[in-house]
């Protein structure tokens, strides 16, 4: 995404076929609703400099997918006006709530929720990214009305450990480890039964990921604050707690390790470098898979909503946009180029949005049924 983020011109365009009922109220042209040439990306400009410098030191092997790294800035911008300008094109999902539910009339909403930065606030220690009791209750409540899946970058087990709700579906490792229903699977009598509910398109990469994880731990051992997380089918190298002057070294070390693993590639998140298999699979593909598997892929009767904060969530936003069937909601305090239709500022607003969905459904029909 950094190549993408580093470009000064928005590269996205609104498909002309987006139905008007799926268009945010402020969008009147074919321009992408969530990117605007008039938005000043102050923090991104600084990032571009870093990216340019960084790409200069990277020499990917010929068989290796070119790593595109930039160092993320996820703090609030000092300047209010660029954010306001951005809101005009990527409106708040709370302010647009009536419009969203208007397009859900007669349809079943299917919810897809990222974990880190969406259900839990970003914290320095990834092991302590707990979600609040209130957020857990909000997710539990919303899942009573709408099919709900968590689509996270961490291992599926880890995400489940944080969320602790059996009634949801879980897709871990950026969608490369999908369990269709954790509730059903716990009741499954046989291994065959469990396997039928499990989809792991990168399973052949497991030994390679373990090897890469060990190499990355070894390579970054000397960098104070660097932290390598094994996410089962992918590995995260965190630099949030690394001194800024050492960020280049972290990227260089990761890139050096990757030269020995031509079938692994590098993506970036919020102060994290993510190493994953080169397979054509991402959160977008995972959402498509879930919609199909759960028989929710009829755009006439289902409105999927995906809420996420990270670059990897853009793949899912894009799928919904291209299928003209639902909404991506980006969680961000700063203007970003995005494929999402709407935005929310922080996990606290995500909770408010989920609570609003529950209230709306509650008022709508006492029987608690969906259409
Ligand atoms: O796709 P996601 O579920 O959002 O996963 C992306 C990464 O999320 C986690 O890291 C992020 O959250 C941490 C805890 O708040 C924070 O310390 C870190 O800086 C963030 O990048 C997770 O730990 C990573 O493994 C995921 O790759």
pLDDT tens digits, 239-298: 999 999 999 999 999 999 999 999 999 999 999 999 999 999 999 999 999 999 999 999
pLDDT in tens, 10-56: 222 222 333 333 333 333 332 333 333 222 222 333 323 322 333 22
Q: Is there an atom of ligand 1 within 6 Å of 129 CB?
A: yes
> Is there a single domain that holds both residue 266 and residue 286?
no
Examine the pLDDT at 125 and tell me if it is beyond 80. yes
Instruction: Give the pLDDT band of residue 197 (cuts 50, 70, 90).
Output: confident
> Is there a single domain that holds both residue 321 and residue 174?
yes
Residue ranges of alpha helices (H) inside 2-132 are: 2-6, 42-57, 80-89, 97-103
Number of domains in the chain: 2
In-domain check, residue 43: no
In-domain check, residue 328: yes
Q: Is the ipTM, as predicted for this complex, more than 0.90?
A: yes
In-domain check, residue 122: yes
Q: Is there an atom of ligand 1 within 6 Å of 115 CB?
A: yes
Q: Is there an atom of ligand 1 within 6 Å of 172 CB?
A: no
Domain membership of residue 246 as a residue range: 204-277
| Ligand 1 center to 99 CA (angstroms) | 31
Catalytic one of 3, 72, 78, 114: 114
> Is there a single domain that holds both residue 285 and residue 304?
yes
Rounded to two decimals, the pTM is 0.80
> Of the residues 261, 277, 293, which one is the last residue of a structural domain?
277
CA angle 275, 58, 284 (to 5 degrees): 35
> Of the residues 277, 303, 335, which one is the last residue of a structural domain?
277
What's the confidence (pLDDT) of residue 181?
A: 73
> Is there a single domain that holds both residue 292 and residue 168?
yes
> Is there a single domain that holds both residue 227 and residue 289?
no
In-domain check, residue 113: yes
Cα–Cα distance between 62 and 77 in angstroms, integer? 38
What is the atom index within ligand 1 of the atom nearest the CA of 269?
21
What's the confidence (pLDDT) of residue 16?
A: 30
> Is there a single domain that holds both residue 232 and residue 288?
no
Domain holding 167: CATH number?
A: 3.40.50.1000
What is the atom index within ligand 1 of the atom nearest the CA of 122?
15
Residue ranges of alpha helices (H) inside the chain are: 2-6, 42-57, 80-89, 97-103, 133-145, 156-163, 182-187, 191-196, 206-219, 247-258, 283-293, 313-323, 347-364
Is 114 among the catalytic positions?
A: yes
> Of the residues 258, 277, 296, which one is the last residue of a structural domain?
277
Examine the pLDDT at 76 and tell me if it is beyond 90. no
What's the confidence (pLDDT) of residue 193?
A: 59
**CB of 106 closer than 8 Å to CB of 298:** no
Name the pairing type of β-strands 264-269 and 272-277: antiparallel
Q: Is there an atom of ligand 1 within 6 Å of 276 CB?
A: no
Distance (Å) of CA 357 to CA 102, 154, 293, 307, 361: 12, 27, 24, 13, 6
**CB of 76 closer than 8 Å to CB of 26:** no
> Is there a single domain that holds both residue 97 and residue 176?
yes
Domain holding 271: CATH number?
A: 3.30.70.1020
């Amino acid at each position: 995404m950094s190549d993408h983020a580093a470009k000064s011109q928005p590269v996205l365009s609104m498909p002309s076929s987006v139905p008007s009922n799926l268009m945010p109220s402020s969008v009147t042209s074919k321009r992408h609703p969530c990117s605007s040439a008039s938005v000043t990306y102050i923090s991104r400009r600084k990032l571009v400099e870093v990216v340019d410098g960084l790409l200069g030191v990277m020499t990917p092997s010929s068989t290796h997918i070119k790593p595109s790294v930039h160092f993320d800035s996820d703090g609030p911008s000092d300047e209010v006006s660029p954010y306001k300008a951005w809101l005009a094109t990527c409106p708040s999902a709370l302010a647009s709530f009536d419009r969203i539910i208007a397009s859900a009339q007669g349809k079943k909403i299917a919810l897809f929720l990222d974990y880190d930065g969406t259900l839990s606030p970003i914290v320095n220690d990834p092991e302590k990214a707990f979600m609040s009791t209130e957020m857990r209750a909000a997710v539990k409540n919303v899942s009573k009305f709408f099919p709900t899946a968590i689509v996270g970058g961490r291992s599926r087990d880890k995400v489940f450990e944080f969320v602790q709700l059996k009634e949801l579906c879980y897709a871990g490792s950026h969608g490369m480890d999908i369990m269709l229903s954790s509730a059903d699977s716990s009741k499954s009598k046989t291994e065959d039964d469990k396997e039928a509910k499990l989809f792991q398109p990168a399973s052949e990469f497991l030994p390679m990921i373990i090897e890469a994880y060990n190499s990355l731990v070894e390579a970054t051992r000397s960098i104070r604050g660097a932290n390598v997380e094994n996410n089962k089918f992918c590995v995260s190298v965190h630099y949030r707690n690394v001194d800024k002057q050492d960020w280049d070294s972290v990227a260089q070390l990761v890139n050096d390790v990757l030269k020995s693993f031509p079938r692994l590639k590098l993506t970036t998140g919020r102060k994290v470098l993510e190493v994953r298999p080169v397979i054509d699979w991402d959160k977008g593909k995972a959402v498509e898979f879930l919609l199909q598997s759960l028989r929710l892929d009829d755009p006439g009767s289902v409105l999927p909503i995906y809420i996420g904060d990270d670059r990897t969530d853009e793949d899912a936003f894009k799928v919904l946009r291209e299928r003209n069937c639902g909404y991506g909601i980006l969680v961000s305090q700063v203007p970003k180029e995005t494929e999402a239709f709407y935005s929310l500022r922080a996990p606290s607003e995500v909770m408010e949005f989920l609570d609003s969905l529950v209230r709306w459904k509650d008022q709508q029909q006492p029987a608690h049924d969906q259409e």
